[in-house]
Each structure stands twice: as C-alpha cells, then as structure tokens.
Amino acid sequence: MITSCSPGWIKFAEHFYPDLLAHLSTCKSPQQMFGALAKTYYAQKAGIDPADIFSVSIMPCTAKKYECTRPEMRSSGYQDVDVVLTSRELGRMFKQAGLDMSNLPEEEYDAPLGISTGAGEIFGASGGVMEAALRTVYEVVTGQELSNLNFTDCRGLTGVKEATVQVGDLPVKIAITNGLGNARKVLDKIRAGEADYHFIEIMCCPGGCIGGGGSPIPTNTEIRLKRIDATYTEDERMVLRKSHDNPAVKELYAEFLEKPLGHKSHELLHTKYTPRGNYPKCD
C-alpha cells in the first residue's frame, strides 16, 4: 500500500504511474476528510445548514488548492473544502492586519474535532505519516500496548529510507520517500521487480509538508531540519500520541460514522483516482 495524503504525489501517480494506482490508499487527505465532516457531522451537531458553511483550509502546500477542486471531493453533497490558503498567504494577511502571533495568548481549538495527538503533529515531517500509522497498526494487530512510540528509522531528510518493522510475527517492510525524484527511484524498482514493500510513504515536497511550496520562505535544509525537530518536540509533549487514542475520533465514530471501514466512513473519507497518461512532450 502507498500513502495518499500528498496531492502533488497523487497527480504525479495518475499521470506517470497509472499502473500502480490500485496500490494507493483510498483514504482522502486529512484536509479533505475534515472538509467532508465539517459539512456533515459538524453541521448536524451545530444545527447549521451545510450550504451556509464555507470551509477554509490553511495548508503549507500549493497543490492543496487543486486538490479541493477535484470532482471526487464532494461526498458531503457540497464542495468539501471551499478555499485553501497557504500558510505563507495567511502570514501575509496577519502582517496586513497588524497581528503579532508571538504575543497572542494560547487558546484551545473549538470542539468537536479540536483534540489532536502527537501522531497528528508529526504528519508534516517526512516519515511522520508512516510512524503515526505504525503506532496504531502495531497495537491493533498485536492487541498489545506499544512500549516505545518512536520509530526513529522513519525520521530524517534522507531521500529514500527503508526499514523492516516487526509487528507481532510479521516483519513489515517499509519505504519512505520525499521529493518526486526519489519516489521515481523506488517505484521504478518496484516496476522492474527489483524491490517489494508492504507499505510506502511518498511525499511530494522535500522533507515532507514542512517543506511545502506554500510554507514561509526561504526554505533550505537547515530550516527544514528545525521544522522537523519542532514537530517531534511537540509530539513528545503531547498527552495523547496515538491516533486511535483520540477521544474526539472515538466520539465521531460512536455518534456518526458508526465503525471504521463502514459504509458511511467509506463514503465520506475515501476517494478514487483517475489514470491520466503522460503530458505531451514539447519539441
């Protein structure tokens, strides 16, 4: 299985690796999942007509602007996310409004869906999605509590990372790539029958989302490393560090989605892909 949360990677796969689309996770990105839930679950809880909800997503990624307009992203009956602003655009708006974020008091996110975990914090770093998934997979498969939550083989800026993680009796072979040139190296080996993995994480941007095209500039290796360190520092300080321990997620399933992999969750939280073929070559 290959991750599906990087829209730049998804577009790349549809054009250049259509033969591998069947191996992509059908999960929508977190942005699109939240958009679908905002106009269904949240609208229902708040007593708001979903037609009156305008969903704005703040992202470090310019490809998210395209993602929210994909025709598949209307499972709520409306466009799930109406507009995407990059973090750099939001920063510019703060400056124009005279807001100094460093001097504003800390506040809690609104409920519902305002509780996050350490697993959510590390999503933005290359290897973070893999590590977050492994924390849950291990406990779901083995039924045992994971004693060490830090999968350090997943971390760092190396373009291609490989490891074998023991999950019960099963040795799980994983690969993690950031940057599409590195993704090509792994995917071409798979096509040629020279490599095989159980689970692959692919991020379009160097270093993962922390190096996204909509992030504050300049972005260089030193800055990416500082952003990565910050995500893991936040993870360590969180009371909850595993996605499946999130009480807001548990409540969501109990009150609305009913069960993982159920009909409603499949309809709202999953998507499909379209083989598109290569772009025409320029003379």
Residues 222-260 pLDDT 10s: 999 999 999 999 999 999 999 999 999 999 999 999 999
Tokens, residue 232 = 């893991």
SS3 sequence of the chain: CECCCCHHHHHHHHHHCHHHHHHECCECCHHHHHHHHHHHHHHHHHCCCHHHCCCEEEECCCHHHHHCCCCCCCCCCCCCCCEEEEHHHHHHHHHHHCCCHHHCCCCCCCCCCCCCCHHHHHHHCCCHHHHHHHHHHHHHHHCCCCCCCCCHHHCCCCCEEEEEEEECCEEEEEEEEECHHHHHHHHHHHHCCCCCCCEEEEECCCCCHHHCCCCCCCCCHHHHHHHHHHHHHHHHHCCCCCHHHCHHHHHHHHHHHCCCCCHHHHHHHECCCCCCCCCCCCC
Q: Is the pLDDT of residue 193 over 70?
A: yes
What mean pLDDT do residues 259-275 have? 96
| Strand 83-86 to 56-59 pairing | parallel
Residue 112 is predicted with a pLDDT of: 76
Residue 283 is predicted with a pLDDT of: 63
108-160 pLDDT, tens digit per residue, is 888 877 899 999 999 999 999 999 999 999 999 999 999 999 999 999 999 99
Residue 111's contacts (CB-CB under 8 Å, 6 or more residues apart) are 248
Which domains are present in the chain? 7-100+116-265 (3.40.950.10)
The model scores a pTM over 0.85: yes
64-76 pLDDT, tens digit per residue, is 999 999 999 999 9
What mean pLDDT do residues 43-52 have? 96
